[in-house]
């Protein structure tokens, strides 16, 4: 084998080589990429990173990329923001926001997974790529397909936010809207992947796709000075990201890049679509699927394929899962923007709101290092908070009009501050 | 009731290549039992050691996941379509 990885079933451990397939044909369980870590230790080292740009390709040896692959675009490399105001308000000494709201090129962490998926699409000679998407993934597929010369065809729920649809259409991708929710779209895409020779990034390319999420975790560790945090708070839709951040941390320990350390994983969902947090809180052996009803549409997956793995990861790490209502999501979006200057989409509102809840439950301790994962940009879901900010009345372009405005809105204190 | 079970490609090596299997059954459970007794090698791929439908295999009755219909005891009517689909997901 010239590469150090292949697909392996997560349940029965059967190996399948490297093929465009997401599930084990023996037991129907998901496949994931398994690495030969002994071989990786001989070629990958922290020292190798020194001359490389700060984006996800600096960790290329730890990703399932074809031989001689060169990253075609600077995906990832997003800021780890040390919180001041929220940390102080919440009484935490070491609080960070990993800000993939500014991930290149399409402003969500989905750029990372699409980057590894398209490397696999090229390797398997697909000329058309696509996805089932709640919006962010479609944006990322459309943008990177345009850049790399793939035809793109994406499938989305019919009621998606207009901004997310526009952010896909602009790249020239074909958009197929489906009458139904994401789970309906997903089921259709499973059947399409079965019928057509297309590279659907989160269907038949899913094992390669989801490995891209690990780079979110590698960056957190590197930005903390090659240390693992005590706690990570992660949004959950299909449940993949939280397990891949855990995989990233385990790999860094295996490779000796960080000291071993127990990390607690906390999952965040919207109450209107919370099959994973529900399973954690009720200690269910199997999660119960739900019909999504929430403004956090990027997390609105009622039948999460990686749900069982997410539940296991959370409980085995000593973490927890929580969920927040739509009004709490809106309040948390505003809170994060007003305190940290980060404008996140509804999913980030979920993660921030859940973090606040976990602190109130005393699950995140003041002296611990906590990283909150922000995965998407607020400009994509402005509809969700527009009602909070009614347009103000315009005033005449005269100084006296402005003084009257100040008196009316800020009262005498502001008026007395006049020079 | 005469119903049709749609077989995903991955399972067709157990159904002599048939993409659809017609059978007569009153419930989903019965339809799956007819299917797996007709194609015994398929049995362990559909149900786990405890006899439950495998965790990562989703079963749909027409457009709906059977878990919203009361599970495999839900009843079938003439002409219903039963779909077997592997579990996959996008999102975070």
Q: What is the DSSP string of A122-152?
A: HHTT-SEEEEE-SSHHHHHHHHHHHHHT-EE
CB–CB contact A137 B91 (8 Å): yes
**Chain A partners within 8 Å of B88 (Cβ):** 22-23, 30, 186, 189-190, 202-203, 206, 305
Q: Which residue of chain B has the CA closest to A23?
A: B86
Min Cα separation B13/chain A (Å): 10
Task: Give the nearest partner residue to B56 out of A30, A202, A375, using CB atoms.
Answer: A30
CB–CB contact B88 A235 (8 Å): no
The residue among B60, B45, B71, B6 whose CA lies nearest residue A187 is: B60
Tokens representing B88 are: 């996959």
pLDDT at position A416 is: 61
Judge whether A81 and A99 are in contact, CB under 8 Å.
yes
B87 versus A264: which is more confidently predicted?
Answer: A264
**Chain A partners within 8 Å of B59 (Cβ):** none
**CA A192 from centre of chain:** 25
ipTM surpassing 0.90: no
CB–CB contact B56 A28 (8 Å): yes
CATH of domain A5-73+110-210: 3.40.50.1100
| pLDDT digits 0-9 by tens, B30-41 | 999 999 999 999
Residue ranges in chain A modelled with pLDDT below 70: 1-2, 412-419
pLDDT at position B88 is: 67
CB–CB contact B90 A134 (8 Å): yes
What burial letters (b/e) apply to A387-414, b meaning 16+ CB within 10 Å? eeeeeeeeeeeeeeeeeeebeeeeeeee
- Of the residues B10, B53, B90, the best mutation for testing chain A's interface (the one with the most A CB atoms within 10 Å of its CB) is B90
Judge whether B6 and B81 are in contact, CB under 8 Å.
yes
| pLDDT digits 0-9 by tens, A309-323 | 999 999 999 999 999
Angle between helices A326-340 and A346-360 (to 10 degrees): 90
Q: What is the residue extent of each domain of chain B?
A: 2-86
Task: Give the nearest partner residue to B58 out of A202, A288, A303, using CB atoms.
Answer: A303
CB–CB contact B92 A237 (8 Å): yes
Min Cα separation A45/chain B (Å): 29
**Chain A partners within 8 Å of B86 (Cβ):** 22-23, 28, 190
Min Cα separation A366/chain B (Å): 28
Min Cα separation B32/chain A (Å): 16
CB–CB contact B91 A11 (8 Å): no
Min Cα separation A330/chain B (Å): 19
Domain A80-106+213-387, CATH class in plain words: alpha beta
| pLDDT digits 0-9 by tens, A347-378 | 999 999 999 999 999 999 999 999 999 999 99
**Chain A partners within 8 Å of B91 (Cβ):** 134, 137, 182, 237-238, 240, 298-301, 304
Question: What are the residues facing A342 on neighbouring strands?
Answer: none
The residue among A193, A202, A194 whose CA lies nearest residue A132 is: A202
CB–CB contact A190 B67 (8 Å): no
Domains A5-73+110-210 and A80-106+213-387 share a fold: yes
Read off the pTM: 0.94
User: At a CB cut-off of 8 Å and minimum separation 6, what does A376 contact?
Assistant: A100, A101, A107, A108, A109, A110, A136, A298, A344, A345, A347, A348
User: At a CB cut-off of 8 Å and minimum separation 6, what does B33 contact?
Assistant: B25
Min Cα separation A176/chain B (Å): 16
**Chain A partners within 8 Å of B57 (Cβ):** 28
Q: Which residue of chain A has the CA closest to B69?
A: A289
Task: Give the nearest partner residue to B90 out of A11, A180, A202, using CB atoms.
Answer: A202
pLDDT at position A211 is: 97
List alpha helices for A91-213, DSSP H: 110-123, 136-148, 162-169, 182-195, 206-211
Task: Give the nearest partner residue to A238 out of B13, B45, B89, using CB atoms.
Answer: B89
**Chain B partners within 8 Å of A237 (Cβ):** 89-92
B23 versus A2: which is more confidently predicted?
Answer: B23
Tell whether domain B2-86 is in CATH 3.10.20.30: yes
Min Cα separation A101/chain B (Å): 13
Q: Which residue of chain A has the CA closest to B11?
A: A25
Query: What SS3 state is found at B28?
Result: helix
List alpha helices for B6-57, DSSP H: 28-38, 43-46
Q: What is the mean pLDDT of residues B1-19?
A: 91
CB–CB contact A206 B88 (8 Å): yes
- Of the residues A305, A323, A374, A375, the best mutation for testing chain B's interface (the one with the most B CB atoms within 10 Å of its CB) is A305
| pLDDT digits 0-9 by tens, B46-82 | 998 899 998 888 899 998 999 999 999 999 999 999 9
pLDDT at position A262 is: 97
Q: Which residue of chain A has the CA closest to B8?
A: A194
pLDDT at position A410 is: 84
């Amino acid at each position: 084998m010239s590469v150090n990885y292949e697909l392996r079933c997560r349940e029965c451990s059967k190996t399948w080589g490297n093929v465009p397939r997401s599930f084990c044909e023996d037991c129907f369980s998901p496949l994931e990429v398994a690495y030969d870590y002994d071989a990786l230790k001989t070629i990958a080292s922290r020292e190798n990173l020194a001359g490389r740009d700060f984006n996800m390709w600096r960790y290329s040896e730890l990703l399932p990329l074809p031989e001689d692959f060169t990253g075609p675009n600077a995906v990832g490399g997003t800021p780890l923001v040390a919180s001041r105001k929220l940390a102080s308000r919440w009484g935490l000494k070491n609080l960070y926001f990993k800000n993939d709201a500014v991930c290149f090129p399409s402003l969500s962490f989905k750029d990372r997974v699409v980057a590894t998926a398209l490397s696999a699409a090229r390797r398997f000679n697909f000329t058309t790529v696509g996805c089932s998407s709640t919006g962010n993934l479609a944006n990322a597929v459309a943008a990177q397909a345009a850049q790399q010369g793939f035809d793109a065809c994406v499938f989305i729920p019919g009621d998606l936010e207009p901004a997310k649809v526009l952010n896909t259409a602009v790249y020239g991708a074909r958009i197929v809207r489906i009458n139904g929710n994401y789970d309906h779209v997903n089921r259709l895409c499973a059947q399409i992947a079965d019928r057509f020779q297309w590279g659907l990034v989160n269907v038949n390319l899913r094992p390669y796709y989801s490995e891209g999420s690990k780079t979110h975790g590698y960056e957190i560790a590197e930005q903390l000075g090659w240390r693992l945090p005590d706690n990570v708070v992660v949004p959950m839709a299909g449940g993949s990201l939280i397990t891949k951040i855990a995989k990233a941390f385990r790999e860094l320990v295996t490779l000796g890049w960080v000291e071993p350390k127990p990390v607690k994983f906390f999952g965040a969902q919207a109450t209107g679509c919370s099959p994973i947090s529900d399973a954690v809180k009720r200690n269910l052996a199997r999660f119960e699927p739900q019909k999504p009803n929430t403004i956090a549409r990027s997390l609105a997956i009622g039948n999460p394929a990686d749900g069982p793995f997410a539940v296991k990861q959370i409980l085995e790490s000593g973490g927890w899962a929580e969920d927040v209502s739509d009004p709490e999501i809106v309040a948390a979006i505003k809170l994060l923007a007003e305190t940290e200057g980060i404008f996140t989409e509804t999913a980030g509102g979920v993660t921030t709101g859940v973090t606040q809840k976990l602190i109130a439950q005393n699950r995140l301790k003041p002296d611990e290092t906590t990283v909150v994962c922000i995965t998407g940009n607020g400009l994509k879901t402005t509809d969700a908070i527009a009602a909070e900010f009614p347009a103000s009345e315009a005033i005449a372009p005269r100084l006296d009009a402005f003084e009257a405005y100040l008196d009316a809105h800020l009262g005498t204190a502001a008026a007395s501050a006049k020079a | 009731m005469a119903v049709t079970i749609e077989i995903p490609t991955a399972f067709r090596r157990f159904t002599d290549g048939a993409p659809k299997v017609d059978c007569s059954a009153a419930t989903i459970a019965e339809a799956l039992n007819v299917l797996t007794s007709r194609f015994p090698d398929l049995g362990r791929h559909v149900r786990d050691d405890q006899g439950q439908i495998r965790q990562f295999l989703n079963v749909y009755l027409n457009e709906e996941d059977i878990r919203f219909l009361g599970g495999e005891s839900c009843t079938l009517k003439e002409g219903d379509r039963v779909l077997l689909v592997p579990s996959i997901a996008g999102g975070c």
